[in-house]
A and B are shown apart, each in its own frame.
Chain A
Amino acid sequence: MGLRAFIIRRLLLTIPTLLGTCLLIFAVTQLFDPSARASLYITNPQQFSAANVEKVIQEYGLNDPAYMQFFRWFRQILSGNLGWSRTTSAPVTKALIDRFPATLEVTMFCAPLIILVSIYLGVKSAVHKDTPVDHATRTLSIIGSSLPSFWLSLILISFFFVGFHLFAPGRQSPVAQDFAYTSPHFIRYTGLMTVDGLLNGQLWITIDAVSHLVLPTIVLVIISIGGMMRIMRSSMLEALNKGYIVTARAKGLSQKEVINKHARRNALIPTVTISGLMIAGMLNGLIITETVYGIGGLGQWIVQASTNLDVAAVLGFTLFSGFLFVMANLIVDILYAYLDPRIRLG
């Protein structure tokens, strides 16, 4: 069938899924009473007074039958208006955009590390099966998946920061943050402090940002590698048993070449599919970790919003994360088809 045809087909399949996610979110909105739902349509804070809320309810027909509401709401979503977030006193969309870079930065640091470490340890563990190396890695993976992320975060803060005054929580130190947001010499091109520091020639900003990322990265890596490493290990073990391995050696390849060129590529296939789940797991862990460390990203915002019953924010973020997740799975599926030609036949 070819890779291109597969990609197109897969893209088309995303549309009904995305529609379905909207439907689900909408169903959740119906669980709230109209005054709470009003926040989904409001665009400026004045409208929150009681009288205005009534007006909003009338205006947007929040007492009308569900299907009419859905179309109204859906149209509004498509225009980019997700409502107003009480906790941040800003439109939900703006709050999303403001906080996205912080979360992106943490992800940028952690994701490659997690993937590389999992693959490396998985391969090592499989090739040296039943040796101390294998046992140690498996123990690490089980411990990692059993650790509560918030507990590990608290322990690390308590040990490093309270104990040794290293790695303060938060995204930047107060001095750096002040400089980055108020100084006329500092232009926030990307919103990513590590990158912006370099772009502006202010290396200390970058270093400061990196030092604040150390602890969250440690936490996220430890709790995320467990599952992925185990899949890599088992698929590697399976690949090593296959006939083409012996054939490759009979052709004269060294054990190292065989592992890297033949076994690993086949073993990566199931691992790639799992990485979709891993991304979800990381997002879950990210929410908690951001909250504990005060990173000021999306995760922290959603937690605040939940405790304050900020309906628009919670639902807006849920919709956004669903969208992101669907996209991530799309990429994973395409990657899978690229790696395994057998899949392209659909």
Chain B
Amino acid sequence: MEKNLLNVENLKVRFYTYEGIVEAIDDANLNVKQGETLGLVGETGCGKSVTSLSVLVLVPPPGKIEGGSAVLNTEKGTIDLLNQDEAQLRKIRGDDISLIFQDPRSALNPVYTVEEQVAEVFLHHRQREFTQMVLDGIEKDLPNAKSYKKFILGSEKKIYKKMLEKPKAFSLKILSRIPIVNRYRRRMRQVIKKEIIRILSAMKIPDAERVVEMYPHELSGGMAQRVVIAMALGCSPELLIADEPTTNLDVTIQAQILELIRELKGKFGSSVLYITHDLGVIAELCDRVAVMYAGNVCELADVEEIFKNPLHPYTQALLESIPRPGKEFKSIEGEVPSLINPPLGCRFNPRCMKAVELCSQEKPRFVEVEKNHYVMCHLYTGRK
């Protein structure tokens, strides 16, 4: 059996606020297989975003990851994400795992151009590659160069060689700040710009040459989101986590972006963890789906399986509540619980039609009940 790309087990995240301790995530489990699209669906506030942030250890204070594990299995090896030091994590973010967010326009810094922001990812993770490209370019130009140009090229070659060996060298830091001397950076910029235009075109952004020079406020919502996706996929990550990327966009644009993600997945070889509250998108895009409620993943199965055979009462209620023409409008009784004082036992039990006494006493475990079908419910885990 192939190893999963990402394994999250017993994740526990708490937020220490003035009002009390918020048990945001309590024993969440999910896994993403190589090459698949896993959907993570749930109501607002159930902890989807926090889960995605936890994978990259980016939970903002006053939040703290208190337990569990998140393991990434790549060809390079197995990485225990929650126990890495910051320097290691920074290498992983944007390179092995990328994260894109809901509002593309606020994800982009308004004072920097598209080029500058996309280049940031490249400079951070692919600098060696680009430095080498520059050096190759210099080598090509060298034989044809005339006298003084030869000198310039020669010095640039030395600088870039140094960049290859010791990118953080102090001498480089100084050189890059001296006005005329730092023109050597132009080559790098050109090389990167070409790559950026290439990637933006892959995102189906028309006229990428012009877009590259623009500022975020000059882009439409759809364009902005494509730029964000370009930034995320720029380094061909193993896993792309998309947190409701189309919620703020028009439906037509949404369809385009979904199509884009589907295509790019194959092109860039990434797996996708797609977070949304829209079951329709899940049906369209995902291979498997995890259902989340109040900080727990209550069910995880293939998409078809979930729609045909939902096991967890919450999933069932969710599917029931989808409005259909001719059907009476049905909603789930009760309210999402406050996570400062969550219900004892299974967190869904106050609203569950099929709850028994055990449900308010003991928390169920996350168990593979049928093939590739996981549930967190006493009804199935045989503890009666």
Contacts and interface: CB of A to CB of B under 8 A. Distances in A.
Contacts of A266: 109-111
A251 B124 contact: yes
Given A243-B103, A247-B228, A252 B93 contact: yes
Nearest to B215: A341
Nearest to B125: A252
A249 B109 contact: no
Interface in B89-105: 90-95, 98-101, 103
Contacts of B92: 252
Contact of B217 (A247, A251, A339, A342): A342
Interface in A246-294: 246-254, 262, 265-266, 269
A165 interface: no
Given A243-B103, A246-B58, A253 B90 contact: yes
Contacts of A341: 110-111, 215, 217
Interface string B5-43: 000000000000000000000000000000000000000
Nearest to A249: B58
Contacts of A251: 93-94, 120-121, 124, 231
B370 interface: no
Contacts of B109: 244, 248, 262, 265-266
Query: Which secondary structure dominates chain A's binding surface?
Result: helix
Interface in B72-108: 86, 90-95, 98-101, 103, 106-108
Contacts of A9: none
Interface string A103-116: 00000000000000
Contacts of B98: 250
A72 B48 CA distance: 75
Contacts of B112: 265
Interface string A170-191: 0000000000000000000000
Q: Give the residue among B91, B93, B95, B100 with the most A Cβ atoms within 10 A.
A: B93
Nearest to B60: A246
B94 to A, nearest CB: 4
Contacts of A339: 111
A269 B110 CA distance: 12
B56 interface: yes
A334 to B, nearest CB: 16
Nearest to B118: A251
A64 interface: no
A337 to B, nearest CB: 11
A341 B219 CA distance: 13
A253 B124 contact: yes
A322 to B, nearest CB: 32
A265 B60 CA distance: 22
A98 interface: no
Interface string A210-251: 000000000000000000000000000000001110111111
A246 B103 CA distance: 12
Given A253-B120, A253-B124, A243 B107 contact: yes
Contacts of B94: 250-252
A73 to B, nearest CB: 45
A252 B90 CA distance: 4
Contacts of B215: 341-342
Contacts of A242: 106
A327 B100 CA distance: 44
Q: Give the residue among A244, A247, A339 with the most B Cβ atoms within 10 A.
A: A247
Interface string B124-162: 110000000000000000000000000000000000000
Contacts of A246: 58, 60, 101, 107
A153 to B, nearest CB: 39
A244 B231 contact: no
A159 B91 CA distance: 56
A252 B112 CA distance: 18
Interface string B364-384: 000000000000000000000
B110 A243 contact: no
A87 to B, nearest CB: 47
Contacts of B58: 246, 249-250
18 contacts: A246-B107, A247-B100, A247-B101, A247-B228, A247-B231, A249-B58, A250-B58, A250-B94, A250-B98, A251-B120, A252-B124, A253-B120, A265-B109, A266-B109, A266-B111, A339-B111, A340-B110, A341-B215
Given A248-B109, A252-B90, 9 more contacts: A244-B106, A247-B99, A248-B120, A250-B58, A252-B93, A253-B120, A254-B86, A265-B109, A266-B110
